[in-house]
Structure 1
């Protein structure tokens, strides 16, 4: 188990469709995080930016872009890109420098301005990238991809469209109390099922939108946090960014399979499960210790998959927990108390950091209206393109 670092401050720019530069969103979130931490910008000695490939050169050098916008202060900069896992990898970069003794106060920022419609790979021909292949050769946009996951749950575990609709209804209730959420309106399962079918079995309200937004986190060593007067600060005990292990090299594509069993035994755990396993091992805990989870609900069915990938229940049991109310705030194991991407939409470089913000507020007891009582341990989960993902464990 590695040494923890402290989350001294968190901040966000509300999600929406604002039509402005990602830089402005990032600066807003950064200033909120600095104020929350009680840290002067001039005391920050590292800025890590979440790269935003859709936003031109400034996005490709996001660390320097944010540092310039905040006012050159001599800080070192770094930039990370890992699709939907960007925020976690940026966080890990900052954590590594703190643990190495190379900086004391790090500011991690992720922000995005997204286009309308589908998010599609846009970096030329990538014949070895299964995500590019499914877009270009199969015409399989994300909703079609999500629908295959949903259909798999139906075939394997008896899930129903009504179950998927219950996920959205639950998250919409949570989002009512989140001032940073884009959608703050309660919807019922009936509303979800009455919305247009996008890709059977998923309806429009089963699928998250694309959004503008930003999140930021101030990290320090635990010793530095205590010297500033922070008592029992929230800690990052693990950041997992593992990749698949051979022979499980088909990157969780629900419509494809491979059989290498004639040469090498198949691994006992899937790629997404291995992300969680590595996080638990590093933090020295198990899924039984988790108080709440913020997971990657690009579609309602994916939330159910992630519950099982994180080991929060056995395979095929997620629907039972959902129906029993266990995954709602007030239940045994709340999932997405923030409202999740169902209420935020995707702002890709920011969403893993937004999950860390939510878990931090929960562990501090500051999530008014959606507070998970007695929360001590939170875990997040994201998946990026091209076979990588992330999980972050925070404790108090």
Structure 2
């Protein structure tokens, strides 16, 4: 058996696990990261690309912000398309200057891997059959299989950042854990294309045929989505069919300026709202998708994981450097307070902009009344903007 001794074991080598490991390393706190998949697989995931100011600041504090600042796009607003027109949400104007950064999650992960390599961080891939032991003991430990052998890591704390299907949340006794879930009756068909974005800022479209989103990763890489039934499969949609349907859901002048091309990646993502409480059990802390899922409408998934990492980073820092465990003791309460606010915002944005399969004309009129109110009220726009750029930690 190969044995490790460390202070924090982080299960999950996605951006949240890597970010926590990098931040802790820079404060002299030792950790190892365990990841089931290969690095190539992790970097092949196509995910979110809108970063809140809090995540941007964490990347800079982690020493990983140089390429993000150089290549990322700062956005001061976004558009909502409805009734054949575009209305703009002025994020900066409504919040006193707050903005978001458009920079793909894949690039965030790539930058974090590079930083971990440069600092000699321990990130183990191909880890299987992970088991958590002694979660309520002073020295918990983790065992796993890798390269045909058994491995063990003794530690002070375990952070489960291993996603919705990971082992960490499942290691909490059922009589301790409460799970809340809402599954939406539609999905997002997403296409990545090597084409310039149709607009300088994102466009969220509400249309009787269903929701659409015009997003971007860079000046020459675009990400587009349309709402589809859960019964659809990505292979059911040809590129031509996707572009034709997207254009139907956009204002005519926007559709006319849309540049199409072959899809680099095409997939369908289901939408759900999910929260697990508590986010701490003994010396196990849950973070990111292991504890909560939001529909992508509000651009909160990666950003909500980052707020978990913020609380954990400062909690571990106070514990190890100042002998103060208050931050760790209050982690679940602090994190969940922000989680539920983000869940509410994402649920509201989803209901505002999507066509429910069982909806009727009354629902459409109510949605339109909500939008009409939004664009007639500076206070309503400020509320949307405040949540979109990210509530303070």
TM-score by length of 2: 0.28
More strand by share: 2
The structure whose RCO (Cα within 8 Å, separation 6+) is larger is 1
- For the pair shown, the structure with the greater C-alpha radius of gyration is 2
